[in-house]
Amino acid sequence: MRRISPVLQQDGVDSDLISLIKTILAACREISFRVSQGELAGVLGSTLAENIQGETQKKLDVIANELLKEVILETGVVKAISSEEEDDTVAGNPHGKYLVTFDPLDGSSNTDINSLIGTIFSILPAKAELAAEDAGQFLQPGSAQLAAGYVLYGPSTMLALTTGKGTRLYTLDKTYGGFLLTAEQAAIPKYTAEFAINMSNQRYWQPAMQAYIADLLQGKEGPRGKNYNMRWIAAMVGDVHRVLCRGGIFAYPRDSKDPHKPDKLRLMYEANPMSFLVEQAGGMSSTGYERIMDIVPTDIHQRVAVILGSKHEVESCVAYHQR
């Protein structure tokens, strides 16, 4: 089994980018340890604070955010960072080559029940013409990403990573403290009979999504002609990992539950990096109306609808939206 550096060197990845990825993963190893200690380390439960998203922060949200922010800014190659937990971007080295965005702890509501959570990250090229303090640095489409990945804290700690030459899976070997390659190329099957969606919001969905899911639920007797199984972890990182491993479709569609927030997932911190990973594994990602990685952000905390996974199933769902 190979370590990360030789694999990325084989792909011709810049040495500074390799070093940055390894630094991010060093922070994730520490987060993995804190997560594994749970109540023993006093890291479970909520704080009294809310983040920019209006969500009550878990203690681990804060810990993970500070760990990542500190180590990334110390690299010297990062011009600025943007975190889901921060109101604004944070400047780094004015001459840095890269930008990093991250969701420090996706699915943090699962921490208190010992369920799946993870860290999602994305790396973009810095814009030389803009100051490090300028949030406009980050207003780039997902197609500009140089690398993206997530670390899943589960029974084993796993990494999914892409630099644009396929999506590979690694597993943390705790005997020496590094990630080892365990799947040379993730390949999402084109067809599937599994879907992941929060059914409790069904009454708020747009008619297109309501019609699509209604047809899936009719099974063999319905227009899709086969039985589907539903899976839902309530952490995007866990649901997308299942898609990468065995196929399926994951959706968090637009809804009318809160008119001020019709979309749930963040474009920069969740939708773009996951879309990059899924597309590099042969899958597809869309809002229902356009490719997610073609969207040019207008705000660092912009939200979008997300439909991703097995190509044929995503195409079928998109067709309902285009009718």
Cα–Cα distances in Å, from 244 out to 88, 193, 291?
32, 14, 19
Q: Start-end ranges of CATH 3.40.190.80 in the chain?
A: 194-322
CATH classification of 4-183 is 3.30.540.10, yes or no? yes
pLDDT digits (tens, 9 = 90+) for 33-44: 999 988 887 777
Q: Rounded CA gap, 280 and 132, in Å?
A: 30
Mention the CATH class of domain 194-322: alpha beta
Q: Rounded CA gap, 35 and 33, in Å?
A: 5
For residue 117, the surrounding DSSP H or E stretch is strand 117-125
pLDDT digits (tens, 9 = 90+) for 155-183: 999 999 999 999 999 999 988 889 999 99
Closest CA to 251 of 280, 222, 208: 208
Cα–Cα distances in Å, from 60 out to 51, 77, 103, 179?
13, 26, 12, 22
Q: What is the pLDDT of residue 43?
A: 72
**How buried is 171 (Cβ within 10 angstroms: 0-12 exposed, 13-18 middle, 19+ buried)?**
middle
Q: Start-end ranges of CATH 3.30.540.10 in the chain?
A: 4-183
Closest CA to 165 of 320, 323, 5, 10: 10
Q: Which residues have C-beta within 8 Å of that of residue 134, sequence separation ≥ 6? A: none
Q: Rounded CA gap, 203 and 248, in Å?
A: 23
Q: Rounded CA gap, 146 and 293, in Å?
A: 13
Q: What is the pLDDT of residue 54?
A: 63
Q: Rounded CA gap, 177 and 233, in Å?
A: 28
CB atoms within 10 A of CB 117: 26
Q: Rounded CA gap, 199 and 94, in Å?
A: 46
Q: Where are the alpha helices (DSSP H) in the chain?
A: 4-10, 15-37, 59-73, 207-217, 236-246, 272-280, 311-322
Q: Would you list which residues are annotated within the binding site for substrate?
A: 106-109, 198, 264
β strands within 138-266, DSSP E? 147-153, 157-162, 167-173, 178-183, 194-196, 229-230, 249-252, 265-266
Q: Would you list which residues are annotated within the binding site for Mg(2+)?
A: 84, 103, 105-106, 270
- Report yes or no: 157 and 238 within 8 Å, Cβ to Cβ: no
Instruction: Give DSSP secondary structure letters for 241-262.
Output: HHHHHH--EEEE--BSSSTT--
Q: Rounded CA gap, 155 and 115, in Å?
A: 10
Q: What is the pLDDT of residue 170?
A: 98
Amino acid at the residue 321: H
pTM of the shown model: 0.96
Polymer length in residues for the chain: 323
pLDDT digits (tens, 9 = 90+) for 43-58: 777 775 666 666 667 8
Q: Would you list which residues are annotated within the binding site?
A: 84, 103, 105-109, 198, 264, 270
Q: What is the pLDDT of residue 286?
A: 98
Residues with pLDDT less than 70, the chain: 48-56
